[in-house]
Amino acid sequence: MVAFHQQHGTFALTTYASRFLYARLAPIADCRGLALPSHHWPLCPPEPPDQRMTTNAYMWDLRRSPQYRLNLPAGMTVEQVLADFDRRIVRHQPVDYALLVGRDVLRGFQPFRTVGPKDVPPTPWLLRQKLPSNGRSHDPDGLYRSFAATCLAVLVIAAMGSAFSWRYQLPQLVLLPPAGALGLSALLRRDLAAATEDPASGR
């Protein structure tokens, strides 16, 4: 937060706080009875609550989420418009919002971990004992080439868009060692396979 303050002039972790809160409120927002400025109405989902998108979709779906299709009033940013809308909805529906928050807090203490149809899927953050299968046989050659290619792509893109900085070289520390280890493993496997199949080897 101190580093963020040095760059942006406010103590925070992100400038997207109002965006995240909008995505949280959109599935339950009820604009009936609210005196809203005209630029707020597109933010009110017209569908019934049980037919609305998920919070994740309201946050990240650039094509369908209303927050990415706003006509901004002069002198206002998207974040300012969303922050104003968020405040109005929370004040208009404090009980609904409290129940939404309370329900999810309590879910963290339930004995069984369940994932509902509107939850954010945990798959991208699961620790795996092996890489997921893509339906093809394991190819260590292709895998180490993928790590190396990813590293090269990151470095080239950084060089294309900005001046040289050592911080842009950090992907090397993460991607090149695994690429080297996988490449060495592929070479050793290949040599072992060749020795096993060669009758002259005496095996």
Mean pLDDT of 7-15: 80
Query: How far is the C-alpha of 163 from the C-alpha of 101, rounded, in Å?
Result: 44
Q: Which long-range contacts (CB under 8 A, 24 or more apart) does 55-60 make?
A: 55/23, 55/24, 55/26, 55/27, 55/118, 55/120, 56/23, 56/120, 58/22, 58/23, 58/26, 58/27, 59/19, 59/20, 59/22, 59/23
pLDDT tens digits, one per residue of 181-191:
877 887 787 77
pLDDT, tens digit, 9 for 90 and up, residues 148-179:
777 777 767 655 544 455 666 677 777 778 77
End-to-end CA distance of the chain: 63
Domains of the chain, residue spans? 2-124, 140-201
pLDDT in tens, 21-74: 999 999 999 999 899 999 999 999 999 999 999 998 999 999 999 999 999 999
What pLDDT is stored for residue 199 in this prediction?
A: 55
pLDDT band at 77 (very low <50, low <70, confident <90, very high): very high
